[in-house]
Amino acid sequence: MAKDLFSNQASLYAQYRPGYPGELYEFILQQVTDPQQAWDCATGNGQAAVELARYFEKVMATDISEKQLQQAIPNAKITYSISTAEQTSFPDNSFDCITVAQAYHWFQFDAFEKEVRRIAKPGAVVAIWGYSLVVCEDEALNTIIKTFYRDTVGAYWDKERKYIDDHYTTVPFPYEALPSKEFQITLQWNRQQLIGYFNTWSSVQHFIKAHQYNPVDELATVIEKVWPGEDLKSFYFPLFLKLGKVTK
């Protein structure tokens, strides 16, 4: 079963986690011949599911975290439910597309593949994507972010984080490969939004548990020295996609 590392900060996650660019969905949908039904697995607060609902007649969105689903965005086309990635109640041959956003690295890969092959229609598209460490236009901020990521909370990341650092080049992906490309999530954030984002990190939650204080509080003080105002700064997340087809 995948780990549930995000229930505790579900409301922060909904507030501060970035959305994904429209070009990503359009690129994926070019490969889907009949967009009837999609499964957004590990949907979290439904960010990807809502976008998929613009293209598909029905979207089934699952997550192991009830608290995350309580934050999910309602949509007439989306059915949210609690379920693991590796075992669902969906009928065989149900889905034209299966998506996993920023969660595949937590899965039991073999068990997930078995479930995908059961519930996917022949030729269904599997799209998994993730994003790595945020980058700022301000190099002084980038140094602070990297130091916090590697040194302060580096030891508190779960081992699966390495898959993200490797841009999913090292995860098993046993589907017929389709052409892919890299994207960027670009956004304008104020200081509070950046700090809010750090509080969603699972490593920060692990650190708090170990030390009984939040390292982001000290980080916020450091950031304020180089970014004292309320102005917005430009950030981007490198986004990587693996795209494949289910052959039966």
| CATH number where 44 lies | 3.40.50.150
- Identify whether 212 is part of a domain: no
Q: Determine the structural domain holding residue 18 and report its residue range.
A: 10-135+159-186+238-245
Pairwise CA distance, residues 148 & 142, whole Å: 10
Pairwise CA distance, residues 31 & 28, whole Å: 6
Contact status, residue 97 vs residue 57, Cβ threshold 8 Å? no
- Identify whether 210 is part of a domain: no
- Identify whether 140 is part of a domain: no
Task: Note the helical H segments in 10-108.
Answer: 10-16, 22-29, 47-52, 66-70
pLDDT in tens, the chain (248 residues): 454 444 455 456 557 778 899 999 999 999 999 999 999 999 999 999 999 999 999 999 999 999 889 989 899 999 999 999 999 999 999 999 999 999 999 999 999 999 999 999 999 999 999 999 999 999 999 999 999 999 999 999 999 999 999 999 999 999 999 999 999 999 999 999 999 999 999 999 999 999 999 999 999 999 999 999 999 999 999 999 999 999 97
220 SS3 class: helix
